[in-house]
Amino acid sequence: MKLQNETLNRWADEIWDKIVNKVSQTSQRIGVSFPYASVNGTYTDEDADWWTNGFWPGLLWLIYQHNGNERLKSIAAACEEKLDEPLHAFTGLHHDVGFMWTPTAIAHYKLLGSEASKRRALTAASHLAGRYNAKGKFIRAWNQEERVGWAIIDCMMNLPLLYWASEITGDPRFHHIAVEHANTTLREFIRPDGSVRHIVHFDPETGERISVISGQGYSEDSAWARGTSWAIYGFTLSYRYTKDIRYLAAAKQTAAYFLSQLQPGQAPSWDFRAPADSKAIQDSSAAACTASGLLELAKHVTEEEAVFYEQKAIEILQLLDQYYGTWDDSNEEGLIRRATANYPKKHFVEVPIIYGDYYFAEAISKLRGNELSYW
């Protein structure tokens, strides 16, 4: 979408320039590595199998898409090659292969037609399809023996890898698996008020639900903010690929809940039902992901609804720019402050995190008229 308001166009262009300038500088140190969270202004470097490793090269591809920067393209392509180790090791992989290879290999293939990248993405899709539990109709999240029946809301953002693979190969099995998992998520994860469960534990032999697990939320009955973001964006994407109206309804329902919980002038609390002693802990990455998801949602609704979702996304992005942006801090590599990875484990609390940076940049890219989606 390209904004009709000239003032907003200028603002989006200015923010984009700030993103490009910052990443052009930080990429000189970060290079071909896998940044995750910023500690004292410097991004950590994760092992190759870490679930967030697609977001740094994905951010570089976003910038390349706009300005053709060959240096950033080379870094992104080298990061993708570095991911071959976990891709072919197989045993260490998890359901987040969508997060890893959609903004890397699929981006590379869509932008430049790389056949090697297409093969990587199809291999990743095969790994993801292999995690499907046919009895419970869900995709298993992790590999630990005690988690054999666990599925999580985050996986809604991995399903586009399967939809894409089905389109590319003409094999409907990838699509069928994605749909069955989305249906299970719709039934078991979304509450009537639009809040979202993080983890549901199924009996892997019978497929019956055993329990709900709090995961990164405060409790089993709470409302982890980023989980709501994954639902908003993920169900919107499933609607885009399937045109199943139930998914669009779920995206609207979870978006309504998320927006109803926001407080003026701040990013969302890490959990919308957190107790008073931690309610003030924020997660700007949930805001950034939601903003990008709302811009996608606006493409699939009535004109009146589209105006509403676009405006809410812009409000969120302007808030992040004004209060959380690091544009004037040359000692900070991250773009957006106060993202929270895992508050219950006190794991990277209120620091820049790479997926918050990625989704913020993705949303600004959309505002500037970029219609090519990696997802």
Active-site positions read 96, 154
Helix/strand/coil for 43 = strand
CA distance 30 to 59: 13
Of 143, 159, 141, 161, give the one whose Cα is nearest residue 151.
141
Residues 17 and 364: beta-carbon distance below 8 Å: no
Number of helices and strands in the chain (H, E): 14, 7
Q: 274: helix, coil or strand?
A: coil
Residue 140's CB is within 10 A of a number of other CB atoms, namely 21
User: What's the Cα-to-Cα distance from 51 to each of 67, 69, 276, 298, 354, rounded to whole Å?
Assistant: 28, 26, 31, 28, 11
d(CA 172, CA 162) in angstroms, rounded, equals 10
Distances (CA, A) of 90 to 96, 139, 180: 13, 16, 23
Nearest to 232 by CA among 191, 290, 282: 290
Give Cβ neighbours of residue 153 (< 8 Å, ≥ 6 apart): 185, 189, 196, 197, 198, 199, 227, 230, 231, 234
| Of 70, 92, 68, 72, the residue nearest 22 (C-alpha) | 72
Is the CB of residue 41 less than 8 Å from the CB of residue 332? yes
